[in-house]
Amino acid sequence: MIRVTAGSASRSALAGLQADSARLASLQQQITSGRQITKPSDNPTGTVTALQLRSQLKQVNQYQANASDALGWLTTVDSSLHSVTNQLQQVRSLVLQGMNTGTGNPTSNEALAQQVDQAKASLLSLSNSSYLGRPVFGGTTAGGVAFDATGSYVGDTGTVSRTVGPNNAIDLNTPGTAAFGPNGSNLFDLLTDISAKLRTNPSGLSADLAQLDARQVSITNEQSLAGAKYQRIQSVQNTANTNLVQLKSQLSDLQEIDLADMAIQVTSANAAYQAALATTAKISQVSLLDFLR
């Protein structure tokens, strides 16, 4: 037969009081922080899952940052090539005017040649368009330009890419030689030749007009390719946005408290603690006083 003494009853009551106090303190800490897990011991399994979810969120956020950077790069490429196209349409009109030798004269042809020279300078500036300080038509060159002042390509053939998802690296390259042509026969060499012929031999512009049209096709193709890459990245980005929402929702469900439910739990725990406190005081006031000290 087990004998229950005043001392054992008091110790049992104090142990229960401590447990109720600890539970109330834990709930109060949760409602203050707004989180179900305030330390790993609250939920070891949940803590591991939360760490995994945070790691996934960090990775997806990095992919999104890479995608935004890639879209900025491609936007610069598209805008620049669009402007190049418009400029070449104007140059084409100047060539056609120069080929109309029946109405042309040295003075008017000189004026046309000067306009071509201005167009060349403008196009050279567009060929050196940059994004965050890097020439978008220069490959991976560390220099600030893709083409030098003479119109020669000084970039490299390195690949510019961004990883926008798991095993999903997208090549952003728009090589200057692909859009504007190789050194010795690029767009700027062609414009130099057109300008010279306008001044000296307008009748020889037919071949240059054909080359100008061919170069326009190449530039349009590069612009279309950049647009396709842009759309692909947007698609990946949209999928990643959906994934982000899901991951944040899972982490929220795991970590964040239900405020209304937690308020009820705190109220209940406080009532249990007050009841335990009163009961313990009745069992042994001396032991309770010792405990409170």
Write the pLDDT tens digit of every residue in 48-88: 887 888 899 999 999 999 999 999 999 999 999 999 999 99
Q: Of 108 and 282, which is predicted with more confidence?
A: 108
Answer yes or no: is pLDDT of 138 > 50. Answer: yes
Q: How far apart are CA 92 and CA 212, in angstroms?
A: 7
Of 259, 257, 255, nearest to 54 by C-alpha is: 255
Question: In the chain, what is the straight-line distance between the N-terminal and C-terminal CA atoms, in Å?
Answer: 34
Paired tokens of 2: 């087990």
pLDDT class of 44 with cuts at 50, 70, 90: confident
Answer yes or no: is pLDDT of 162 > 50. Answer: yes
- What is the H or E stretch that residue 123 is in? helix 106-127
Of 275, 277, 285, nearest to 6 by C-alpha is: 285
pLDDT class of 106 with cuts at 50, 70, 90: confident
The predicted structure's pLDDT at residue 258: 45
Q: How far apart are CA 117 and CA 32, in angstroms?
A: 71
Instruction: Report the range of poorest mean pLDDT among 24-28, 45-49, 85-89, 220-224.
Output: 24-28
Please, is 249 exposed, middle or buried when counting C-beta atoms within 10 Å of its C-beta (0-12, 13-18, 19+)? Answer: exposed
CATH superfamily, domain at 53-250: f41 fragment of flagellin, N-terminal domain (1.20.1330.10)
Paired tokens of 16: 């229960």
Q: How far apart are CA 213 and CA 219, in angstroms?
A: 10
Q: Residues 250-262: what's their mean pLDDT?
A: 63
Q: Residues 152-169: what's their mean pLDDT?
A: 94
The answer to whether the CB of 152 falls within 8 A of the CB of 183 is yes
The predicted structure's pLDDT at residue 150: 95
The predicted structure's pLDDT at residue 146: 97
Answer yes or no: is pLDDT of 35 > 90. Answer: no
The predicted structure's pLDDT at residue 222: 96
Location of structure tokens 């209304």? 260
Could you say which DSSP state residue 35 is in?
Answer: B
The predicted structure's pLDDT at residue 36: 59
Instruction: Tell me what percent of the chain is helix, strand and coil, each rounded to the nearest 5.
Output: 75, 5, 20
Please, is 265 exposed, middle or buried when counting C-beta atoms within 10 Å of its C-beta (0-12, 13-18, 19+)? Answer: middle
- What is the H or E stretch that residue 162 is in? strand 161-165
The predicted structure's pLDDT at residue 47: 79
CA angle 174, 177, 180 (to 5 degrees): 90
The answer to whether the CB of 80 falls within 8 A of the CB of 126 is yes
Neighbours of 126 (CB within 10 A): 18
Location of structure tokens 């071509």? 116
Look over the chain and give the mean of its residue pLDDT values, rounded to a whole number: 83
Answer yes or no: is pLDDT of 139 > 60. Answer: yes
Answer yes or no: is pLDDT of 89 > 50. Answer: yes
- What is the H or E stretch that residue 168 is in? strand 168-171
